[in-house]
Chains A and B, each alone.
Chain A
């Protein structure tokens, strides 16, 4: 990539920093240059977030309709998957999947609810009473 071709199209990251890239200067030698961003990757990130938002909305509706428990919703809201949530709670994925069932969720012990609440950065009350 030539230095003059380095895109300067601001994305979310440009609020924090410009990023360092390796480009060829006029003499054909490599040097570093700072970029504000590139629309091609900004659009990739935007489409990833559209997908996250879709998943969160689907999860919310699944709680409203009584198919899933709040654990499922907050997992999606916090961009987690089973391995990540398992890491934060110490529960095995097999059990977490069971806790997605509203019937199992409503009988969870206070201690388990506390672990989920801590992992999701919400209070136990918010978690228990989330209706979608």
Chain B
């Protein structure tokens, strides 16, 4: 690479979740100073629950507490009338030269990467997970300057290291996926309020009205039913591993704790201020409660995978806890649906 180039106006933002973080930091760079992680998450209707049937990931159940990768950035930008450019590549050399071009132009960009070869991650966290996101905001001494939103500080990667993670393979392979806001129009408070309302309504729809029994609040019941069967069907050892996988999806880095429920509660609290509507504070409390209940269930599940709880009745109790969470979340979304927030 020819010269050092650091995009000075870019500020690193640490967030709970990588995609929220890339969205927040890039939009702030483009002058949207009001943007926060909860706002990006909520406008993008980020809260979700799904257990994908017949699929296992890392030899455990395929469960997600958030919406599909890429959706938050896309929806939040769209709500605010921000035009987005995105590109994928089959040739790593072309992907790198396009990245260099954007950096030369002084444009910080989001990149989708796999974490298995991500050198600065601790080894224990390097599974084949391909939907991590980071920002490249310059280069220095032949290295790319990296802002990884989950980290307190910025870091760097060599061109080889970056290329490798941008071309990780397997499910959700990034294929050099690069994205950035292209054009930002005038953003009024009214537009922000509309974006918030739209985000809430879409989230209500996703959690209450999605067809089938695997997703939304009904998905929680589906998992609850499965947990009752796991001990007999899979044996205690595998059943424990499955519970451990739920806890990791729910509490690991990126979730903000409680399966993103605290993050959503924070969004509703911010929304109450934007919309000058105190009723949202009440629903925010409901999601705080849901998050606390998820964490209580995680503590119980830990009892199983630590070998302290081994009986079928322990699995039944965990399943009942999930049913309770389902009803708390269902009522919370029904309350949101009834608020008549406007268009």
Q: Residues of A with Cβ closer than 8 Å to B?
A: 1, 11-13, 15-24, 29-30, 32, 34-35, 38-41, 43-45, 47-49, 51, 55, 78-81, 83-84, 86-88
Q: Are A88 and B247 in contact (CB under 8 A)?
A: no
Which B residue's beta carbon lies closest to that of A90?
B169
Q: Are B266 and A44 in contact (CB under 8 A)?
A: no
Residues of A close to B244: CB separation below 8 A: 43-45, 47-48
Residues of A close to B305: CB separation below 8 A: 43-44, 47
Q: Are B169 and A88 in contact (CB under 8 A)?
A: yes
Q: How far is the CB of A23 from chain B (nearest CB, A)?
A: 7
Residues of B close to A13: CB separation below 8 A: 122, 124-125, 253
A43-B305, A43-B306, A47-B305 given; A38·B248 CB < 8 A: no
Q: Mark B25-42, 1 if CB is under 8 A from A, else 0.
A: 000000000000010000
**A32 CA / B262 CA spacing, docked (Å):** 10
Residues of B close to A16: CB separation below 8 A: 120-122, 151
Q: How far is the CB of B173 from chain A (nearest CB, A)?
A: 6
Q: Are B247 and A41 in contact (CB under 8 A)?
A: yes
Residues of B close to A23: CB separation below 8 A: 257, 262
**Given A45-B125, A79-B128, 20 other A-B residues pairs in contact with their CB atoms under 8 A:** A12-B124, A13-B124, A19-B150, A20-B16, A21-B257, A22-B266, A30-B38, A30-B262, A35-B257, A39-B302, A40-B247, A47-B244, A48-B58, A78-B116, A79-B58, A81-B58, A83-B170, A84-B128, A84-B171, A88-B169
Q: Residues of B with Cβ closer than 8 Å to A?
A: 14-16, 38, 58-60, 116, 120-128, 150-153, 169-171, 173, 240-241, 244-245, 247-248, 251-253, 256-258, 262-263, 265-266, 269, 284, 288, 291-292, 295, 298-299, 301-302, 305-306
Which are the 8 A-B pairs with shortest beta-carbon distances? Answer: A87-B169, A84-B170, A12-B124, A30-B266, A44-B244, A22-B262, A87-B170, A44-B247
Q: Are A1 and B257 in contact (CB under 8 A)?
A: yes
